[in-house]
Chains A and B, each alone.
Chain A
């Protein structure tokens, strides 16, 4: 599938900022399932961008801009060719072994209830079946609600009955780890017909002998060619598209506009 992404992130500040430093995790990498045909990040003010990779292998760009800055818009445009390998993730940069992704973080403390729930769902299963079963279980347990900016941690979300897609993914990550299955949060894009889009989050979990498998608790199934993988992290915090620091007073307002669509046949 040929997917086109247009992702605009606009920050407006109630008072001009003296300086902005932001870390952008907005650049996908080639894998066996996706080939980045073209990708650009444009900023509407005088800014310097420095590309690098973080410790987990994600592409990142540091953005440095001097003030006064009343507003800044980061425009990402890109085109990616995707394939479908049944959710098997191959060809990714892996600086750390799967075991690292058993680590608990503040946001992925599962708590007893979530641990028991996932433990029950995977009981008696082996390998990738455990991952699929846990994904279906989380999918079935929650009513999905639309994207909200504020995000609850895994245990808090589990205590309720509704969850956003990102919260479901974070819960699944936490739950899989309690079952000693390495799991990580993936941030990226997902194409959906006729729907307004928001940055999406799903999960990669590791099955011995099979490798990393990408699943999406929002759908209850495996990830396919409608997904573009951008960054992985231990939790949602690790894949934040724009993580920044600003020097200046006042409030900030954030607008995000995102279009992910299939390219028309040429």
Chain B
């Protein structure tokens, strides 16, 4: 039922025969390229991903071998003007996130001005007292943000979640694009798609720009991974590789006299900037969890002393925590001086008695989330939940209301997706990657589109059976696509003959 009503980003509300006007040509390509050919290309892409080792392990599924995240061959497309509006909203949001972090670990003006209830900061384990009094270079905390967006209509984008700790997925953006260029070159000849391959260079430049003052003109940057058993290890090595910098594990780093050193065959090298893909809890056993075997002892002291920059900064969890999320519109307004260009999804804070009452009355319609959960775990999707699941959540909510927020079930937009039964609309979300360095905020024109492959499903998490798609951002003034004399399907035939 909701299915029929959801906005399809290519087909609009009109179905395959009546696509959105600017995307008629893409709809034509989808319609005219033989299914078997799309399936063949999809398989070729997935084979490549498997060979590259772009795999992930499903948590709680110990016996499962590492899997690749399913890929879909039909891209998702943003028109130039849509993207311009989105970008402006993302820049504003990420600027606010950085301003908030700098304030909350510094002067805490936002609390003094009564914008946030202090207890949601001070009693929140994501507010790390261990970083109070530290100011990272240029006051930048969230160098790499992945802002999860959903869409319900042509101009209706909402922020579902801010990821300001260690957002992953950017390797999919890059690998998906590479596969699409190889497998569907006709699309790139006929659409002016903004390139994403500069991401590693931009990331490297961002890292260099926030090096500690004493680092000199050629700061040493590294990527720190917990190790090959981590589910995102491929991405860690991929990013280090594409930036041309070292990938290190905790045992490769040593802290001495508040300075971080990398042990190399040629001796010790001083490290200036660390893109660490290890969570705060495990980063330094001397300061955080003493039982962590993943961390680098002393790294927080080097950081506090200003001798190394950590990307992202420890303590960022207080900015993307789900309890804080519901206050983001106020936070954006407070620091930017204007209304949030990208709205939040309406959110009920179950800690508030009135909101809790409302949520308990409408559980079957709502999505309920653990404030400190992630990856689609600890979540109730009312419309698809069983009676038992709903009752279990009801009990949990009554017992610990402060741990939950609830949101309406949104009619997430869909994008045509190749399924076993042919092309069909499937719900998607979107994670663009936003970089903040000394010279400001930039949004890479692309991102990670996650698609819920199960019919009607709204859960796009890879751990819950989601897949990915390439995300095209069209450059302004794209030639009118329908003006071309040939259909893309026809061009594909030529391409096949020629190759």
Contact = CB atoms under 8 A, between A and B. Distances in A.
Interface stretch (A99-107, A108-116, A128-136, A193-201): A99-107
B122 A96 contact: yes
Interface stretch (A31-39, A47-55, A207-215, A219-227): A47-55
B255 interface: yes
B111 to A, nearest CB: 8
B301 interface: yes
A245 B130 contact: no
Interface in B116-141: 118-119, 122-123, 125, 128-134
A124 interface: no
A22 interface: yes
Contacts of A256: none
A38 B125 CA distance: 37
A54 B284 CA distance: 14
B119 A55 contact: no
Contacts of A99: 118-119, 122
B256 A48 contact: yes
Contacts of A52: 301, 304-305
B301 A62 contact: yes
Contact of B298 (A21, A97, A100, A102): A21
Contacts of A22: 286
A62 B298 contact: yes
B364 interface: no
Interface string A37-75: 000000000001010111110000010101000000000
B445 interface: no
B258 interface: yes
B299 to A, nearest CB: 10
A26 to B, nearest CB: 15
A263 interface: no
A102 B133 contact: no
Contacts of B423: none
B122 A53 contact: no
A104 B123 CA distance: 7
A179 interface: no
B355 interface: no
> Which secondary structure dominates chain B's binding surface?
loop
Of listed A53, A97, A100, A104, residue having the most chain B CB within 10 A: A100
A64 B257 contact: yes
A258 interface: no
B130 A54 contact: yes
Contacts of B257: 48, 50, 64
A23 B123 contact: no
A244 interface: yes
Nearest to B255: A21
Contacts of A103: 122-123, 125
B285 interface: yes
B133 A95 contact: yes
Contacts of A243: 286, 290
B123 A102 contact: yes
A62 to B, nearest CB: 5
Interface residues of B, number: 26
Nearest to A50: B258
Interface residues of A, number: 27
Nearest to B111: A97
A139 to B, nearest CB: 28
A141 interface: no
B132 A97 contact: no
A7 to B, nearest CB: 20
A96 B132 contact: yes
A19 interface: yes
B287 interface: yes
Nearest to A54: B130
Contact of A23 (B119, B132, B254, B286): B286
A54 B285 CA distance: 15
B297 interface: yes
A215 B134 CA distance: 31
B129 A23 contact: no
Interface string B279-318: 0000001110010000001100100110000000000000
Contacts of A64: 255-257, 298
A55 B256 CA distance: 21
A62 B305 CA distance: 11
B122 A21 contact: no
Nearest to A244: B286
Across the A-B interface, the 8 shortest Cβ-Cβ residue pairs: A55-B132, A245-B297, A55-B129, A100-B122, A21-B297, A21-B298, A62-B301, A48-B257
23 contacts: A22-B286, A50-B257, A50-B258, A52-B304, A52-B305, A55-B128, A55-B132, A56-B129, A62-B286, A64-B255, A64-B256, A64-B257, A95-B133, A96-B129, A97-B118, A97-B122, A99-B119, A99-B122, A102-B123, A103-B123, A243-B290, A244-B297, A245-B290
Interface of B: 118-119, 122-123, 125, 128-134, 254-258, 285-287, 290, 297-298, 301, 304-305
Given A56-B129, A64-B256, 20 more contacts: A21-B255, A21-B286, A22-B286, A23-B287, A23-B301, A48-B256, A50-B257, A50-B258, A50-B305, A52-B301, A53-B133, A55-B132, A55-B133, A62-B298, A96-B129, A97-B122, A100-B122, A103-B125, A104-B123, A245-B297
